[in-house]
Amino acid sequence: MSQGRWRGRTSGGAVLIRSAAAVMRLIRQPGVVLLSPPLALIGLVLDPRARSESMRYFRHLRPELAGDEHLGLAWRHLSAFGRVLCDRMLAYSDPQRMRIQFDVRGGAILREAVASGRGCLLVSAHIGNWELAGQTLNRVGAGRAHLVMIESEDPEVRALIRANMGDAPPAIIDPRDGFAASLAINAALSAGDVVCMLADRTHPGQTWRALPFLGREAPFPIGPFQIAAATGCLVLPCFLLKRQRHRYVLVVDRPWSIATSCSRQSRRQRVDEEMRRWVARLESVVRSHPFQWHNFSDFWRPP
Amino acid sequence: MDESLIQLAHVMIEGLHLEDLTPADIDPQAPLFGEGLGLDSIDALELAVIVERRFGVKIGDAQTGRTAFASLTALRDHIAAANKPSAS
């Protein structure tokens, strides 16, 4: 759990979100498809940080390509990110009539894991549209879900996002107070609920471990896996991937668990092994869907 | 340190795998987290698991946690109060 302040989170107040949502109501999906490439081009010019981080990512992913080819990939990357943001705005603008469709691969696995009563920790990543995944969970019938995420400090934005999380919105656990978050996560898991955590970004003050990712060591948060080792809950990797224009698929992997009763040293080794397993899975998803990993930060630099 | 605190310290050392500590190393009045025993937020989660499984006492929110985990003595008193039969 982090005690540090995360400065890289999504910016934009309630007015911006409402305006974007209003535009989305007007242009709908065809407009998104038409506007994303030119807007991404503008973003490429006006946002040097996003451009350079995206190019850095593609240098790791496709080292055999030249610099201008990485720039082209960065443009496609930003276009894909723009379409995902637009889908989110569509969800905010008209959640009842939203035309985005969700498929689920592994729904039975998740329902069976929830029925075990051990508590389920869904580990996910900044892939596809993870914020919409919270809504999808409600449709899977996966029981009560809790999202571990940093909420906006703007109460209007907070209210807007919560109001558009569906009929049975997931509970939010803010990780900035690590002590409170730990106890809330434990309470949820011990009640047999589902807790979702992102495990592909470290915040200042958070404990992490460097593991090989796309050819070079990168920091990954230890917290989710320590929680699994401490509570004995089931760990299920999951990803919400964009498939087509109107369609997403929630992919839930088979669960695993981490042995709880052993010495600190051997538990550390087990946590390491499970983290490597997670990172390998993440890398395979990133390689299969390179434009859907939206982690625009210097990922390989320790926090 | 009285016997109940020594027993609780043993449970904590064993449960949190604090292999380098003995009950005598734990100041019963010192904070368990932060500057006291130096436990972190994951230890808080693990201690909540131990207290629930061993003593049947849930520590589900931060306010209860801050009170119960203020020190070893506070934790013993919290468990005793939670397990005390009601007067009715």
Full pLDDT tens readout for chain A, 303 residues: 544 444 444 555 667 667 776 776 777 667 777 777 777 778 777 888 889 999 999 999 999 999 889 999 999 999 888 888 888 777 766 655 556 778 899 999 999 999 999 999 999 999 987 667 766 776 676 778 898 988 776 777 777 777 666 666 788 899 888 899 999 999 999 999 999 999 998 887 788 999 999 999 999 999 999 999 999 999 999 999 998 777 889 999 999 988 766 677 788 888 999 999 999 999 999 999 999 999 888 899 988
Domain boundaries, chain A: 14-292
pLDDT for the residue numbered A206: 82
Q: How close, in Å, is residue B38 to chain A by CA atoms?
A: 13
- Cβ–Cβ below 8 Å for A190 and B66: no
Which residue of B21, B45, B47 is the best one to mutate when testing the A interface, meaning the one whose CB has the most A CBs within 10 A?
B45
Residue A4's pLDDT is what?
A: 41
Phi-psi region of A192 (alpha: psi -120 to 50; beta: other; left: phi over 0): left
User: What is the predicted pLDDT for the residue at A258?
Assistant: 84
Tell me, what's the pLDDT at A95? 57
CA of A190 vs chain B CAs: smallest distance (Å): 8
* Cα A245 to Cα A242: distance, rounded to the nearest angstrom: 8
Q: What's the token pair of residue A150?
A: 């940093």
Under 8 Å CB pairs connecting chains A and B tally to 63
User: How far, in Å, CA of B16 to CA of A141, rounded?
Assistant: 35
Q: Going by DSSP bridges, is the β-strand pair A171-173/A145-148 parallel, antiparallel, or unpaired?
A: parallel
pLDDT at position A5: 40
Q: Which of B18, B60, B62 sits opposite A179 (nearest CB)?
A: B62
Helices A178-190 and A223-231, axial angle in degrees (round to 10):
40
**Angle ∠(A207,A209,A212) on CA atoms, nearest 5:** 155
Tell me the pTM. Answer: 0.86
User: Do the bridges between strand A194-198 and strand A145-148 make them parallel or antiparallel, or are there none, so unpaired?
Assistant: parallel
Residue A1 to residue B61, Cβ atoms within 8 A:
no
Nearest-neighbour CA in chain A from B14: distance (Å): 9
Residue A172: strand pairing partners: A147
Cα–Cα distance for residue pair A140/A74, rounded to 1 Å: 34
Contact A183 B40 (CB under 8 A): no
Where chain B has pLDDT below 70, the residues are: 86-88
CATH fit for domain B3-83, picks 1.10.520.10, 3.60.110.10, 3.40.190.80, 1.10.1200.10? 1.10.1200.10
Query: H-helix or E-strand containing A42?
Result: helix A14-46
Which candidate in B37, B40, B41, B59 is best for mutational testing of the A interface (most A CBs within 10 A)? B41
**Residue A117: CB partners within 8 Å, gap ≥ 6?**
A192
How far, in Å, CA of A75 to CA of A64, rounded? 18
Q: What is the DSSP string of chain B?
A: --HHHHHHHHHHHHHTT-TT--GGGS-TTS-SBTTSS-B-HHHHHHHHHHHHHHH-----SHHHHHHHTT-HHHHHHHHHHHHSPP--
* Residue A98: predicted pLDDT: 57
- State whether A178 and B58 contact (CB < 8 Å): no
ipTM at complex level: 0.90
Contact assessment for residue A294 and residue A54, using Cβ atoms and an 8 Å cutoff: no
pLDDT score, position A167: 67
